[in-house]
Amino acid sequence: MTERVRQLRKQSVEAENRLDHERALLVTRFYSDIVNTEHPVPVQRALCFKYILENRKLWIGENELIVGERGPMPKATSTYPEVNLHSLKDLDILDSRPKVSFKVTEETRRIYRDYIIPFWQGKTNRDKLMAIMTPAWKKAYEAGIFTEFQEQRAPGHTVLGRKPWLKGMNDLIEECQESMERLQFETDPDAFAKRDELEAMQISAKAIIKFAWRHAGMLEKLAAKETNPVRKDEMLHMARICRRVPANAPRTFHEALQHYWFIHLGVITELNPWDSFSPGRLDQHLPGFYMKDIDNFSLNREQARELLQCFWIKFNNHPAPPKMGITAQESNTYTDFTLVNLGGVKEDGSDAVNELSFLILEVINEMKLLQPGSMIQVSKKNPDIFIHKALDIIRSGFGQPSVFNTDAIIQELLRQGKTIEDARNGGASGCVEAGAFGTEAYILTGYFNLPKILELTLSNGFDKRTNAQIGPETGDPLNFKCFDDLLSAFKKQVEYFADIKINGNRSIEELFSKNLPVPFLSLLTEDCIANGLDYNSGGARYNTGYIQGVGLGSVTDSLTALRFHVFGNKTFSMEKLLEALNADFKGYDDMQRSLVFNTPKYGNDDDYADEQAVSTFNIFFNSVDGRACYRGGKYHINMLPTTCHIYFGSVTGAMPDGRNSGTPLSEGISPVQGVDTNGPTAVLKSASKIDHIKTGGTLLNQKFTPSFFEDSESYNKITALIRSWFRLDGHHIQFNVISSETLRDAQKHPEKYRDLIVRVAGYSDYFNDLGEDLQNEIIKRTEQATG
Amino acid sequence: MSHKSYVEGLVFDIRRYSVHDGPGIRTTVFFKGCPLECAWCHNPEGIRPDMEIINRRHILNGKTYLYKEVVGNLKTSGEIFNIIEKDRIFYEESEGGATFSGGEPLMQPEFLRELIGMCRKAGIHTAVDTSGHASARDFTAVLNSDLLLYDIKSANPVKHKEWTGKGNELILKNLRSVAREGPFLIIRIPLVPGFNSEEAEITAIRDLLVPLKSRIIRIDILPFHNLGVRKYIDTGRKRSMKTDVTPTGDEIDMALQIFTDKGFEAKMGA
């Protein structure tokens, strides 16, 4: 790491998160004083974007090589009052919450109080959204059946494809012009709207060019004052780059990175799309620039490394925009889910791993920053050495990169109707979501609480927590004669809530389409220009809506417990079980023990238990998959929780799997915490019984201690584990190399860690089965290995 | 493919994703019953050749519940094979397979023979982790396996008897027979202070192995570890190991050196 990088990295890591009012104030000024309401909405939005970029303060850090920040300084984080409005109380909570707080200055409070709140109160997109949601939607939302992503964030979830890496904004402006010239005003009733949208795209493109020029101007001024001749040259060089990109197509490695960075800033300034924005297949987009520079001796590998590291730091300077309302208290992710993809296959299907893949892995390892996130795509065509290099990072317990199955992602995208080339140019973004990069608007719309719906099924649609009948009456469970009666009642409940969710989504999609188009993002997404249609109105080549199922393990084990104890063995009656659930197992210790310890569990490759995972998956899939989006395109499912399994757990009562009320649900498609006692191969076998290819992504976490990564033989075994999982069509696996703190927690709460296998000496054993002395020794060893 | 078979055997554990008992990812089947009673045994529940009651505990909501569990399950070879077969895809990718361990698998030779045969027919690699203490006739059960993890504890028959309850005559005889034909060998040597960790002891073992070198893939030195203690308490078995001293780094290095000096591949652990 060069001294420059060390300094910049340190500044980034140590900078304080701040909630910054600049963008909110500029937007407020624009809409109160400047906007011409005669203009069509897309043009208004483009002019607002232009106004922000023209008037905001710039930041150029000492010794930076890549320039540009969203706010007036690193980690000064913008808000988006046109989407949702922070109250003064929200600002206080954000300022004081213990984790990932955002400092709020007195000035910001005052500006919020005097300008921003008075102007936006009742007028935000969130207000409009809540006003049009049905009472049934609101009841379900409040009960915690589902969440709504677009309540506080704009639809986004986008990844830059190949094209914008090879084109300048001037080229795109030209394309808009050509598209405009093709409009058929006599025959196409939408031609005027298309013209407006294309005009808005052109305004946005010009705005980002000027924004880069402002940086060039500032660099020139700073250079004039700079006394160090080396830095002076550097700044003049950077100024020339900012004059060239993003107006024109980048020619060099440095230009390419700066080009992307301006585009990135444009997208996250225009609105606050969920999951930020991503550069996509970085090791596919950069080699052209890299090889050219290397060949003409204008760049060497170390300089490329330094530029990439400066690029990495830029992402880390941008935390996720802070939430408001209840979620301000609960949600404290710093990460804004930018995800860099490495590896996989090229458009022609050949192995895509190259020199840049390895260089970027080295950068990830040295940077160890939360953002950008990283993942490797592994196709059967990629070499093992690529996986091994990724394991070098994974073994340190950093949690990155996660590992994805390219061959499964391609099948998933093909099933959804993409061409083979678009599928191969795709990958995963956000957490694990499959998408065709650069050509698809795939919007995540909300998490869906499957265990909660089972809870409602057991109370005939009545929610005890909110004291309301929120689901349909699907029968008193005491009258269920067999397990299939229960399953069909559960199915009706899932279908009912999926209908509510999808109908709500459609209204929300319409709201964004009409009120908050994104002409800048549309410029970057094929085929918005050709179609003259906004990203939020279905302009992309492919449009997809996703609903994310949460709690597969919990709901599976609960259904299995009912099947096994109530309907099968008749260990206890439905009546007794319901009593115990109502009492949160207080006074029912023996029953709870039976449910927890003496019941088949998902994650052990036991068909009896895994059958319920498959039934649940199919019920959810059939309720959602293939339903129409407002924007065109279809809804699909994926199975991932981010951190929502904790919130969903907090609103879900005691469950028949022995889980206590309010405690976290299982996450992703992983088994309930600690119940998988047959090792990782059994977990993978269980998890492969659901059809991953029918999803747009699943998330599986596996815990290992560092000792499983200690030599080349263990690398080969982990690699084989990954390859096998991918032969079973698994979509994703993340290795959580556990820390000594986790082991200490396991000493205190053994019941949560029944699955934890540790290497002892020449063999492995369950951590719980070891004596305390030995546990302590393993903790010590783990400390040494992870440092 | 589902197998039904009437050869039954007694096993006390089946562990999937076993990565220290032979090459690749493996499933290890632990046979119950062992003719030896090594002082340092870390699987004491595998010694008795019949079912026994073990104390176990569940912890839930901070409360500890004690209960009894039967150790040892009577299973048919078909049942065992069906479990082994579940991880076939992992064996294929990792060049792994099934390992039969214990206890001493050769205490149940027909059961072992049948399981090895089933795996072989299905193209699954097999390894047997054995003490080698068996009659020549019973020992033929391992000849069809692909690999032996063969424990050698001491070259000295008196000491061997003192620490394991049996002399090493059968063990060495079987070792010589398998060195002429049958599977390749990984020799496993538990390194136990006070028993065999001295230079002369290890050198004597090495000298025994030199003539068989062409058949030996590797020597694994397994440093004694004081971890079976809890299992002794749980099974109510008396622990004869008097000391908890574990080998020093120097002792381990020395043991490895003794083998590498003569061109063996040797490593610590599995």
CA distance A232 to A235: 5
Give the CA distances from residue A357 to residues A324, A360, A367, A372, in Å, rounded to whole numbers and listed in that order.
Answer: 38, 5, 15, 15
Interface check for A723 against chain B (CB to CB < 8 A): the answer is yes
In a domain, B53, yes or no: yes
CA distance A367 to A785: 19
In a domain, B260, yes or no: yes
Place of tokens 């895994």: A610
Chain B residues with CB inside 8 Å of A745's CB? none
Please name the residues between 24 and 53 in chain B that touch chain A, using a CB distance below 8 Å.
Answer: 24-25
Look at residue A787 in the predicted model and tell me its pLDDT.
Answer: 42
Angle subtended by helix axes A253-270 and A287-295, to nearest 10: 150
Mean pLDDT of the region B150-161 = 96
Catalytic residue annotation of A: 431, 433
Task: Report pTM.
Answer: 0.94
Interface check for A724 against chain B (CB to CB < 8 A): the answer is yes
| Structural contact between residues B24 and B96, judged by C-beta atoms closer than 8 angstroms | yes
Percent of chain B at pLDDT above 70?
96
Query: Chain A residue with minimal CA distance to B83?
Result: A605
How far is residue B120 CA from its own chain's centroid? Answer: 20
∠A437-A442-A446 over CA atoms, to 5°?
A: 140
**Which of B25, B59, B229 is the closest to A717 by Cβ?**
B25
Mean pLDDT of the region A19-37 = 97
- Closest CA–CA distance from residue B137 to any residue of chain A (Å): 30
DSSP state for residue A759 in the 8-state scheme: E
Interface check for B227 against chain A (CB to CB < 8 A): the answer is yes
- Closest CA–CA distance from residue B90 to any residue of chain A (Å): 5
Please name the residues between 320 and 339 in chain A that touch chain B, using a CB distance below 8 Å.
Answer: none
Mean pLDDT of the region B31-51 = 93
The verdict on ipTM greater than 0.95 is no
In a domain, B58, yes or no: yes
**Inter-chain residue contact A762 with B269, CB threshold 8 Å:** yes
Percent of chain A at pLDDT above 70?
97
A703: β partners: A736
CA distance A497 to A619: 12
**Which of A727, A763, A774 is the closest to B270 by Cβ?**
A763
pLDDT at A179 over 50: yes
Chain B residues with CB inside 8 Å of A774's CB? 225-227
Distance in Å from the first CA to the final CA of chain A: 19
**Inter-chain residue contact A774 with B226, CB threshold 8 Å:** yes
**Which of A593, A724, A764 is the closest to B93 by Cβ?**
A724
Percent of chain A at pLDDT above 90?
83
CA distance B266 to B270: 10
Residue A462 CB partners (closer than 8 Å, separation 6+)? A456, A468, A469, A470, A471
pLDDT tens across A223-277, in order?
A: 999 999 999 999 999 999 999 999 999 999 999 999 999 999 999 999 999 878 9
Chain B residues with CB inside 8 Å of A770's CB? 227, 230
pLDDT tens across B63-74, in order?
A: 889 999 999 999
Average confidence score pLDDT of chain A: 94
Interface check for B226 against chain A (CB to CB < 8 A): the answer is yes
Confidence of residue A169 (pLDDT cuts 50, 70, 90): very high
**Pairing status of strand A462-463 against strand A427-429:** unpaired
Place of tokens 């060390």: A6
- Closest CA–CA distance from residue A520 to any residue of chain B (Å): 47
How far is residue A403 CA from its own chain's centroid? Answer: 15
**Inter-chain residue contact A750 with B59, CB threshold 8 Å:** yes
Radius of gyration of chain B (CA): 19
Range name among A462-476, A666-680, B98-112, B209-223 with the lowest pLDDT average: A666-680
**Which of A596, A597, A762 is the closest to B20 by Cβ?**
A762
∠A515-A520-A523 over CA atoms, to 5°?
A: 115
Look at residue A701 in the predicted model and tell me its pLDDT.
Answer: 86
**Inter-chain residue contact A708 with B19, CB threshold 8 Å:** yes
CA distance A720 to A730: 13
Look at residue A646 in the predicted model and tell me its pLDDT.
Answer: 85
| Tokens (6 digits) for A206 | 């010009």
Q: Is A326 exposed, middle or buried (0-12, 13-18, 19+ CB in 10 A)?
A: exposed
Confidence of residue A728 (pLDDT cuts 50, 70, 90): very high
Query: Chain A residue with minimal CA distance to B188?
Result: A762
| Structural contact between residues A59 and A72, judged by C-beta atoms closer than 8 angstroms | yes
Look at residue A370 in the predicted model and tell me its pLDDT.
Answer: 84
Mean pLDDT of the region A577-588 = 98
Confidence of residue A762 (pLDDT cuts 50, 70, 90): low
Q: Which of A573, A564, A579, A567 is nearest to A481 (CA)?
A: A567
- Closest CA–CA distance from residue A283 to any residue of chain B (Å): 27
**Inter-chain residue contact B25 with A720, CB threshold 8 Å:** yes
CA distance A49 to A29: 12
User: For chain A, how are helix, strand and coil distributed in percent, rounded to 5?
Assistant: 55, 10, 35
Chain A residues with CB inside 8 Å of B60's CB? 589, 592-593, 596-597, 751
In a domain, B3, yes or no: no
Phi-psi label, residue B269: left if phi above 0, alpha if psi -120 to 50, beta otherwise: left
pLDDT tens across B78-95, in order?
A: 999 999 999 999 999 999
Could you tell me the sign of the dihedral formed by the alpha carbons of A526, A528, A529, A534, in that order? negative
In a domain, B1, yes or no: no
Query: Chain B residue with minimal CA distance to A686?
Result: B86
Mutation target for A interface from B14, B16, B234, B244: give the one with most A CBs within 10 A.
B16
In a domain, B2, yes or no: no
Residue B168 identity (one-letter amino acid): N
Please name the residues between 750 and 769 in chain A that touch chain B, using a CB distance below 8 Å.
Answer: 750-751, 757, 759-765, 769
Neighbours of B254 (CB within 10 A): 18
The residue range of the domain holding B132 is 8-268
**Inter-chain residue contact A593 with B90, CB threshold 8 Å:** no
Place of tokens 């990295």: A9
Interface check for A584 against chain B (CB to CB < 8 A): the answer is no
Radius of gyration of chain A (CA): 27
Confidence of residue B231 (pLDDT cuts 50, 70, 90): confident
DSSP state for residue B129 in the 8-state scheme: E
**Which of A593, A724, A757 is the closest to B90 by Cβ?**
A724
Place of tokens 């060099």: A252
Mean pLDDT of the region A458-473 = 97
Question: What CATH number is attached to the domain comprising B54?
Answer: 3.20.20.70
**Inter-chain residue contact B15 with A771, CB threshold 8 Å:** no
Dump strand ranges (E) for chain B.
8-18, 26-31, 52-60, 63-71, 73-76, 97-102, 125-130, 147-151, 184-191, 216-223, 266-268
Interface check for B269 against chain A (CB to CB < 8 A): the answer is yes
A492: β partners: none
In a domain, B155, yes or no: yes
**Which of B16, B60, B268 is the closest to A679 by Cβ?**
B16
Angle subtended by helix axes A301-316 and A355-367, to nearest 10: 50
Residue A207: which H helix or E strand, with range? helix A191-225
Mean pLDDT of the region B159-167 = 96
CA distance A664 to A463: 18
Number of domains in chain B: 1
Interface check for B99 against chain A (CB to CB < 8 A): the answer is no
Mean pLDDT of the region A304-333 = 84
Confidence of residue B108 (pLDDT cuts 50, 70, 90): very high
Chain A residues with CB inside 8 Å of B222's CB? 761-762
Look at residue A767 in the predicted model and tell me its pLDDT.
Answer: 82
**Inter-chain residue contact B63 with A760, CB threshold 8 Å:** no
Confidence of residue A761 (pLDDT cuts 50, 70, 90): low
Mean pLDDT of the region A444-450 = 95
Residue B105: which H helix or E strand, with range? none
| Tokens (6 digits) for A639 | 């199975």
Chain A residues with CB inside 8 Å of B92's CB? 724
CA distance A494 to A453: 7
**Pairing status of strand A373-378 against strand A339-343:** parallel
**Which of B63, B223, B229 is the closest to A771 by Cβ?**
B229
Range name among A97-106, A295-304, A366-375 with the lowest pLDDT average: A97-106
3-state secondary structure of A462: strand
CA distance A336 to A667: 19
Interface contacts (A, B; CB < 8 Å): 102
pLDDT at A323 over 90: no
Chain A residues with CB inside 8 Å of B87's CB? 681, 685
**Inter-chain residue contact B89 with A728, CB threshold 8 Å:** yes
CA distance A498 to A495: 5
Phi-psi label, residue B97: left if phi above 0, alpha if psi -120 to 50, beta otherwise: left
Please indicate whether residue A311 or residue A275 has the higher confidence score (pLDDT): A311
CA distance A364 to A359: 9
In a domain, B87, yes or no: yes
**Inter-chain residue contact B86 with A716, CB threshold 8 Å:** no
**Inter-chain residue contact B229 with A596, CB threshold 8 Å:** no
∠A105-A108-A109 over CA atoms, to 5°?
A: 90
Look at residue B202 in the predicted model and tell me its pLDDT.
Answer: 97
Range name among A119-128, A161-170, A532-541, A704-713 with the lowest pLDDT average: A704-713
Average confidence score pLDDT of chain B: 92
Look at residue B1 in the predicted model and tell me its pLDDT.
Answer: 45
